Homo-oligomer: A and B are copies of this chain.
């Protein structure tokens, strides 16, 4: 974040001030603003400024607690349980990944479960924190209903990302952060706000018919990757982040944009472990792994075989040198929220 440009810095300051105006502490406002700015810089606009007004609305309607009393309970030297007290998700996730990193010290592996949290943006953003401490990490969170279980006509699973991060022996981490949905729900939402189409084959409308209309897709069902397999992976994530942690599950996480009837009570699970548990040359092994794969013969038109996280890192580097472009809708949001 060091290289964020002037206007981006002003923008960040504005977001911090907005969050503080809505009751967040200075620390929590900074954590939240950093996460939103990061989403913009890596090009994950569906997790960026387009969500700012939603967070503030949820605080106003008392379904996000701006002054949470977050409790961290030690389960064992390796494991902690966090009750986030309906904090904004960014803060819960930030505390959780830091706790997981700490828990790793004693036995080489750490686990932190979170309940009573909310949408925290990109899993990969927290994975990066662990990877910077030279740890491997696996992160799971559930989300509001968006994807239909295989065989069902109604959405129930969230886009339930599977996230895996590892050091690579280079400055660009391997961060797989893949939704189990054919399309990111945030992207559909941005498309709907901007009256853009979505690709074919990624969503059904509320009647179960294929659609390329983003607004109809938001009312309908997103399709899971790989049919029964993707549905099974989404189910796994719901169990790990919801059933296990004490969070909501089985489709009971409320949509943060549409449902202000109560807090989301999203659950998250963070697992971290050391890279040198079993080999003393992990970095050279993974460098060799990546190099070997990059050297494979390529499909026509492919210049480089990219590992997960590499493109995102490139986008971050490029975007960090420019000012963030703020859409008209977000400009309006900022004006309303500041006034």
B residues in contact with A81, CB < 8 Å: 277-278
Docked complex: A224-273 residues within 8 A CB-CB of B: 225-226, 228-230, 232-233, 235-236, 238-240, 242-246, 249-251, 271, 273
B residues in contact with A228, CB < 8 Å: 308
**Residue contact B282 to A176, C-beta cutoff 8 Å:** no
**Residue contact A296 to B229, C-beta cutoff 8 Å:** no
Give A46 to B151 CA distance when docked, in angstroms: 26
**Residue contact B289 to A239, C-beta cutoff 8 Å:** yes
Docked complex: A276-317 residues within 8 A CB-CB of B: 277-279, 282, 285-286, 288-289, 292-293, 296-299, 302, 304-308
Give A263 to B223 CA distance when docked, in angstroms: 42
B residues in contact with A246, CB < 8 Å: 278-279
B residues in contact with A282, CB < 8 Å: 243-244
B residues in contact with A151, CB < 8 Å: 298-299, 302, 304-306
**Residue contact A233 to B108, C-beta cutoff 8 Å:** no
Copies, count: 2
Interface residues of A (CB under 8 A from B): 75-79, 81, 106-109, 111, 113, 115, 136, 148-154, 156, 162, 164, 166, 174, 176, 178, 208, 225-226, 228-230, 232-233, 235-236, 238-240, 242-246, 249-251, 271, 273, 275, 277-279, 282, 285-286, 288-289, 292-293, 296-299, 302, 304-308
Q: List 11 A-B contacts (CB under 8 A).
A: A75-B278, A76-B108, A109-B109, A149-B296, A153-B298, A153-B299, A156-B293, A208-B299, A225-B226, A243-B285, A249-B285
